[in-house]
Structure 1
Amino acid sequence: MKDLKLRIIVSVLAIAAAAACHPDDSDDMNGSFVEDPAYTVISDQTYDFEEFLLDFLTDSPLASSLTDVQKILVAGLLDGYVTGLENELGISGGELGFRKVTYLYESTDQYGKKQDLSAMALWLGKLNGRRWKEISPENICLMEHYTITSDAECPSEGFPFESFINGNSLLIMPDYIGYGATSDMIHPYMNHELCAVNSVDALEAGFELFDELSAADMKTGWQTIVAGASQGGGNALAVHKYMDTRPDLSAKWNFSHSYCAAGPYSPSLTVRKYMEAGKTDHPILFPLTLKGLRDSYPEILGRFPEERIFSQAYIDSKDIIDAALESRQYTTAELNDLCIEYLKTTSDDRDLASDEIYVEDIVSDELLDSGSELYASLFECLEMNDLTEGWTPVHPIKLYYSEVDTVVPADNAFAVRDAFGTGKVTLVKGLPLEHSLSCVFWMLDVLDLY
């Protein structure tokens, strides 16, 4: 571990190429499992923790949003965390590593049909050469990933940064519909209820997978927490609601609490804030939201053709933008740039940064008209997924936010607190950082690194 910081700095500065996570063929573990399991293994491999960290900081889409200095800072913090974790677990004569199993499991899609989805399960172990010894997880962490648009970012295909914050837990991360095994389907963005169902099904299958494939057992007294940032924050709170409104399920999983960051807990509030601001630096969120809700609620928003929902500029460039979105090959940052390139048509003396676009250039005037049937239908769908009403929390909720977040306004966190009170909701005020960095620092806060 002692030379990790130097290796990362060298890689970040492009003095040398970073080594990617390429485990030996001998690390592949296609274990035997029972007849008709709740899961089907896609891949099963072990990884060195240092290589994973190095690979993330040099190649991952999220890390690309960090400056070189920020990468080095994060690397140093995580280096110390891993060293502390090794000491805590008594790792000696080897290196801390983890076993990542990607799998298929059965759930339900937005059309009410059974669908095989993909997810990953991850737990710690000790690597000593080619020998692998598994470590008993202390808890289960159901982790909801942040907003993605490329398969390279989804848990079953890549290595999300959230993988670092599980500590010694059995980490379960679903891809969601629209990524991984279902990349040919429309992602039901903002459909919190469906994502919660898919996530709990991933938890069920992932736990059975661990129980049957791992040489280690869960430690006595284990609990389940759910966590996530950005879209994952909203989905995490949706899972919390799903658990708390089903006492038997909550008891089965020894549900403890949720810790969410920068999530659209009130989708209607979030979209209304965008409309009030009149501009955004994340234009791809509109197609993601509108297409997802239109597909999820065909009798409500799906009644309207896209020609009535989107701006003329979008319709004119629809083939280009939709092809890029549906390809699952581009990150949200790349798709935001594409939207600005093709949709940014309004130019006047109003204050508009180079990376911003007016909302009126993305969606139709009819959608922005609060008196229109289209507007009412959109907000009917959004309010069906509002997590600030329709339930009473039983377990604690912890919410991390940044006051300067313009992608997911802090008002979302305040709305949850106002709805359920400080007895159940704890707010954590983060540093005044924009959305992506705020989510990164939430991850560091989970690890108590700053």
Structure 2
Amino acid sequence: MKRILSTIMGLLVLLAANAQNVTTDGLHQPVNVNDVVVTKVAYAVFSSHDSVYVNPQTGQSDTVTIDDGMATYTPEEFEVKMAAKRAAIKKLIERAKARRNAPTITPDQDWNYEGKQERSSARLYYYTYPSVDADGNPVRLSALMGVPMNTVVDDFADILMGWPWGSSLISDIKIRPSNVVIGCHVTITSNWECPTSYERNTSILGLDNFRTDTGMMLFYTRYDLLRQPCCLVILPDYEGYGLTKDRPHPYLYQELTARQCVDATRYGLALYQQKVAREEELPLDDGWKTICVGFSQGGSVSLATHKYIETNDLTDELHFAGSVCGDGPYSPVDHLQYYMTDDGSTTYPFIKTSHRKERVSMPIVMPLILKGMLDSNPYMRQYAITDFLTQNFLNTGVIDYIEAKKNPDAKDQYSTGDVNEMFRLIKETGIHNGKQILQKDSLFPFDDGDNVHGNMRFMLTEKCLADFRRLTKGEELQNDFMKDLVKALESNNLTVGWRPQKRIGFYHTTYDTVVPYVNLLKFMERQSELTYYFANEGDKPSEREGVRPPHTTENETEADVMIIDTGSTADHVPAGQDFFFFGSVTSPDYQLMKWVLKGKE
């Protein structure tokens, strides 16, 4: 049966290969920086403190920098803060001169705002740039670029300038951005979550900045002596958000989103080089490289952008090093089959997840996938959402929640967490907008405390569900709309159709029920010519699933792919927080990033 299914899927992949012909017009032409429009400039201030870290394996201790928070400021607000800091530096110098000794370089002991040690800053450029849409038509999109300001070093320079010998050292301690990060954000359903809407200053110590991957990826711009590299970060909004919030978001249209991310990067770099030429910014390091990073949808966009750069001969132009991908939907058909067949088993026999057959632990995922395909994929535009989703499920407002991103006020939009709360309310009351939701306890059969689970038997139409069941058995599909959906999904399969040349770092938790581990397993199966290194060598969950790449190494310097797969009991959202964990210099994203940037020896 598996052989039959593999044959069917292989044919579908071949049929789908030419389904999405994203235009490459203008891709290899020099970008015109005059086509970039800067819409706003702001500043991010990072706060942190030193902590003694004890390595549990070696018992050795070291001092690490712990991130405490981040806040954004207007240029005027930022200048006020910098003026206060300069005044603190002046007092430090005067006290040191009075003692007739050079000052100890610990400036954060002398300025402390709101209980935080503000050690580093970044300049944020909000800009728009030209790209193309699914039909090859011109579209203007938006992005955010974070530029390291290296204020720790600048502070040292200010202190040294207080001494006659200080000016001779300043040119030697100015630090330039070492690399470029293309930051690919997670699945969002509200416009206020997109990068160019990132103005989060309301929480205690700024900690809610860590609750979004935009905030976590902006931390790559932060400079300190311990956590390196310090990067220029480019964060595209994706079509359908930011400037284009009134347009549909082409969810999981990988090639198109990758093209738009590449355009954001090329125009962002042009803008940055213009700032360098005007001596408004420092040049990138001579050996700079570009790397893609993302989690969830961002993990697949990161891999898609990697593929797009390599298959369109942009590696040299972008100094491309590779990608870091966390818990991404790389193989969407296999992903959906997991929803249909998994009964809570994982690669760890002693762990059971809350997932059950024909259920979805984050119900908004199905409407997002279907709407994304219907809005943008050439195979799908002839169909309607009612071919796939029941009217009763549609009555819960699922499409309205997605479309609400167009509303001008954040309070009238819905994040994925907000949507979950709406489903929870419906499960409790059985009512939405005055309409009774039938069989609410069957539609939403389980609440695991984090997510309200949806039952695909009551979410999908009878014909759609029947064909999904046939798909899992390797049987012929009976409905054209389902045949075309599978073709559309397979045309976005990132596990086939190319052989990566640059390094890839994968992170995936085996406990993820939203973006299941099968996505990583299928990549390993289908990219068997690559050489794999497993960071957790003593415990390889993939082997329990029977996936043993023929080319593995115990020497990470020889590998094409590094894998961190974990049996953590964290499901999708907390797994993302673990991926970007802000309290350690060895978080998975950072560990993988450093490895990718080293390149294969």
With the length of structure 2 as denominator, give the TM-score of the two structures: 0.59
Structure 2: distance between partners of 1:382 and 1:352: 28
Structure 1: distance between partners of 2:458 and 2:316: 49
1:419 to 506, 526, 529: 526
Structure 1: distance between partners of 2:230 and 2:358: 44
Structure 2: distance between partners of 1:222 and 1:344: 57
Match of 1:177 in 2: 239
Match of 1:437 in 2: 574
Change (3 A) 1:256 1:347: same
CA deviations on 1:195-226 (whole Å, 9 max, x unpaired) are 10000000001111111124210011011111
Q: Is 1:303 aligned with 2:382?
A: yes
* Alignment of structure 1 residues 2-401 onto 2, 5 Å: 37-50=34-47, 77-79=66-68, 93=107, 95-127=119-151, 135-158=175-198, 159-165=214-220, 167-213=229-275, 214-247=280-313, 249-276=314-341, 277-297=357-377, 299-317=378-396, 320-328=397-405, 329-339=413-423, 341=426, 345=439, 347=441, 352-353=446-447, 355-370=452-467, 371=477, 372-401=479-508
Structure 2: distance between partners of 1:76 and 1:281: 36
Of structures 1 and 2, the larger Rg is shown by 2
Structure 2: distance between partners of 1:286 and 1:215: 44
Amino acid at match of 1:335: V
- The answer for unaligned runs of 5 or more in structure 1 is 1-33, 54-74, 82-89
Q: Secondary structure of 2:233's partner?
A: strand
Structure 2: distance between partners of 1:80 and 1:117: 29
Structure 2: distance between partners of 1:170 and 1:254: 13
Structure 1: distance between partners of 2:106 and 2:181: 26
Aligned residues: 382
Amino acid at match of 1:435: H
Q: Secondary structure of 2:525's partner?
A: helix
Shift of residue 363 of structure 1? 2.2
Change (3 A) 1:381 1:348: closer
Structure 1: distance between partners of 2:579 and 2:586: 9
Amino acid at match of 1:191: Y
Q: Secondary structure of 2:258's partner?
A: helix
* 8 Å Cα contact 1:369-1:375 kept in structure 2: no
Change (3 A) 1:375 1:427: same
* 8 Å Cα contact 2:65-2:585 kept in structure 1: no
Q: Secondary structure of 1:181's partner?
A: helix
Change (3 A) 1:365 1:205: same
- Identity percentage over the alignment? 29
* 8 Å Cα contact 2:47-2:67 kept in structure 1: no
With the length of structure 1 as denominator, give the TM-score of the two structures: 0.78
Structure 2: distance between partners of 1:429 and 1:219: 33
Amino acid at match of 1:180: G
Shift of residue 346 of structure 1? 5.4
Structure 1: distance between partners of 2:323 and 2:236: 16
Q: Secondary structure of 2:127's partner?
A: strand
